[in-house]
């Protein structure tokens, strides 16, 4: 008699933390691909995982996806150990690798249907899930189109649909925007935001840092297998005392005001350019507000103030050294 094995459904737990790495290590001979990495991501948050090529991002994500085992340390997905409960993890995780296989002789519907059946979806539930994924990813009109005829952007959408087909609590997206045109990137950003709003926890790796800055609640910066910084961009800036650029447009007495600012410890690298006074400011936004009030009280005729925070690219360049293993 043939026994039919019914997989455990992807029931989402009540854990507030849905991704957690604890002292994770992965060695390949003398190469420490992942070296004592720890971080966590809360439910409904988007975490950007960034670093140079060979930094250890993909190895970390493969361990979370149960495709590799750590040398030591532990990782959890939706409260379940990737080492002790890999089957439970797989039903709670959707993984979109940086390179993925497609079957050229099948169409989009058949491709997604194959993975839906592999996850044990049957009957009306399977059909309903297939239709939702096609609608969400914008591939409904291409359901009958052979995969070999899809553009790069459409294939990326289809692969995202494959990762979503079993309604996972956690998504791991490795370079999802690679090779996409600007419109496709905007659409991807919208989909990631909507999934997070639905309560899904998302870890996304990308070299397009401007994209990550707009979609992520927090980031982790890794280099040579070590996690160098983690938190929101603002938190990392604050911890590393990153400078904020301030530009004042003064109707008169610009040179005098520059001398006044030079005596302040928060103000560095002052440049006077006609009516403009440029400087680097070290401090919080509240400190900046106090400084502007002091200048106005001192009688300087300030017509305009421009403040520019360091971008995620600036943070990345400051934190990393460009080293590879």
Domains along the chain with CATH numbers: 17-233 (3.40.50.300), 243-309 (3.30.70.920)
Task: Give the per-residue pLDDT at 74.
Answer: 96
CA angle 59, 60, 62 (to 5 degrees): 65
Q: Return the higher-pLDDT residue of 235 and 249.
A: 249
Which residue in the block uniquely carries the two structure tokens 């911890």?
239
Task: Give the per-residue pLDDT at 107.
Answer: 92
- Is pLDDT at 2 greater than 60 in this prediction? no
Give 321's pLDDT tier (boundaries 50, 70, 90): low
Question: What's the pTM?
Answer: 0.76
CA angle 315, 205, 14 (to 5 degrees): 105
Q: What percent of the chain has pLDDT over 70?
A: 88
The string of pLDDT tens digits covering residues 182-216 is 888 888 889 999 999 999 999 999 877 877 778 88
- Is pLDDT at 75 greater than 50 in this prediction? yes
- Is pLDDT at 313 greater than 80 in this prediction? no
113: left (phi over 0), alpha (psi -120 to 50) or beta: alpha
Number of Cβ atoms within 10 Å of the Cβ of 312: 21
CA-CA distance, 294 to 300, in Å (whole number)? 9
Give 11's pLDDT tier (boundaries 50, 70, 90): very low
Task: Give the per-residue pLDDT at 231.
Answer: 86
pLDDT mean across residues, the chain: 86
CA-CA distance, 201 to 232, in Å (whole number)? 16
Number of Cβ atoms within 10 Å of the Cβ of 321: 10
- Is pLDDT at 280 greater than 70 in this prediction? yes
């Amino acid at each position: 008699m043939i026994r039919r094995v019914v997989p455990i459904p992807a029931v989402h737990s009540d854990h507030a933390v849905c991704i957690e790495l604890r002292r994770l290590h992965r060695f390949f001979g003398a190469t420490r691909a992942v070296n004592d990495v720890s971080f966590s991501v809360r439910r409904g948050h988007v975490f950007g995982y960034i670093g140079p090529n060979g930094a250890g991002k993909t190895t970390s994500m493969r361990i979370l996806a149960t495709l590799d085992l750590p040398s030591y340390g532990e990782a959890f997905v939706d409260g379940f150990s990737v080492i002790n409960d890999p089957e439970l993890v797989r039903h709670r995780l959707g993984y979109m690798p940086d390179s993925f296989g497609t079957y050229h002789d099948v169409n989009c519907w058949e491709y997604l249907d194959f993975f839906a059946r592999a996850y044990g979806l049957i009957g009306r539930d399977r059909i309903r899930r297939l239709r939702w994924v096609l609608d969400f990813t914008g591939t409904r009109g291409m359901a009958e189109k052979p995969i070999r005829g899809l553009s790069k952007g459409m294939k990326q959408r289809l692969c995202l649909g494959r990762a979503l087909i079993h309604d996972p609590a956690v998504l791991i997206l490795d370079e999802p925007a690679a090779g996409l045109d600007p419109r496709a990137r905007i659409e991807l950003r919208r989909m990631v935001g909507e999934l997070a709003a639905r309560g899904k926890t998302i870890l996304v790796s990308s070299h397009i840092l401007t994209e990550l800055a707009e979609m992520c609640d927090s980031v982790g910066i890794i280099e040579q297998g070590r996690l160098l910084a983690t938190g929101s961009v603002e938190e990392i800036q604050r911890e590393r005392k990153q400078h904020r650029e301030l530009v004042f447009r003064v109707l008169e007495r610009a040179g005098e005001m520059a001398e006044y600012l030079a005596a302040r410890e928060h103000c560095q690298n002052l440049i006077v350019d006609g009516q403009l006074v440029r400087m680097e400011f070290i401090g919080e936004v509240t400190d900046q507000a106090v400084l502007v009030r002091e200048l106005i009280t001192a009688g300087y005729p300030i017509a305009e103030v421009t403040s520019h925070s360091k971008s995620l690219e600036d943070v990345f360049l400051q934190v990393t050294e460009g080293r590879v293993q």
